[in-house]
Amino acid sequence: GVDIRPFPNNWDLAKRLGTQRENPDNWEKNTVMNQLHLLTPNSSRIIIDCGSGDFFYEVNVRLHQELLYRNIPHDFISRPGVHNWEYWANAIKYQALFFNDYFDAGKASSSPSANTHRGRR
């Protein structure tokens, strides 16, 4: 999850971070939402894909809104569905396209014809 704070009783987080009530700083510094200031716009490609019935939906919407506020480009996809294999089986097709485009863009920018010859006359 991109924000662990709403889930203090899940995934044995309290065993790893201490309880949220007794160790709030651990919870704050170990949630993705509080790390966004470390991102440089356009330095990474980001995709968020979450079903509207997923228990992570609200925190993903907040992440999307914060990325917009910080002018950090990203793809945000939401469609009906929950946190299950049926949703993921459909979503993977769109995610594969996202990653294919990412790697194709990398190939194009690293090909000799895409590079300029600076300093040559």
What pLDDT, on a 0 to 100 scale, did the predictor assign at position 43?
85
Residue 3 maps to a domain: no
Q: What is the DSSP annotation of 1-13?
A: ----TT-TTSTTH
Domain count, the chain: 1
Q: State residue 110's pLDDT score.
A: 67
Does residue 114 have a pLDDT over 70?
Answer: no
In-domain check, residue 96: yes
Question: Does a structural domain hold residue 121?
Answer: no
Q: How far apart are CA 8 and CA 63, in angstroms?
A: 18
Residue 43, domain member (yes or no) = yes
Q: If you average pLDDT over residues 91-118, what whole number do you get?
A: 77
Q: What angle do CA 80, 46, 115 make, to 5 degrees?
A: 135
Tell me the pLDDT band of 121, cut-offs 50, 70 and 90.
Answer: very low
Residue 113 lies in a domain: no
C-alpha to C-alpha distance for 27 and 1, rounded to whole angstroms: 13
Q: Which domain, by its residues, includes 43?
A: 13-108
89-113 burial: b if 16+ Cβ within 10 Å, else e: eebeeeeeeeeeeeeeeeeeeeeee
In a domain, 77, yes or no: yes
pLDDT digits 0-9 by tens, 6-51: 888 889 999 998 998 988 898 889 888 898 999 988 888 999 999 9
Q: 3-state SS of the chain: helix, strand, coil percent to 5?
A: 50, 10, 40
Tokens, residue 72: 């950090």
Is residue 66 one of the residues assigned to a domain? yes
Give the pLDDT of residue 3.
85
pLDDT band at 86 (very low <50, low <70, confident <90, very high): very high
- Beta-bridged to residue 49, according to DSSP, are 77
Confidence of residue 63 (pLDDT cuts 50, 70, 90): very high
User: Does residue 5 form part of some domain?
Assistant: no
pLDDT computed for residue 113 by the predictor:
53
Length of the chain (residues): 121
Give the phi and the psi of residue 56 in degrees, each rounded to 5.
-90, 0
CATH assignment at residue 84? 3.40.50.1820
This prediction's pTM: 0.77
- Confidence at residue 111, expressed as pLDDT on a 0 to 100 scale: 58
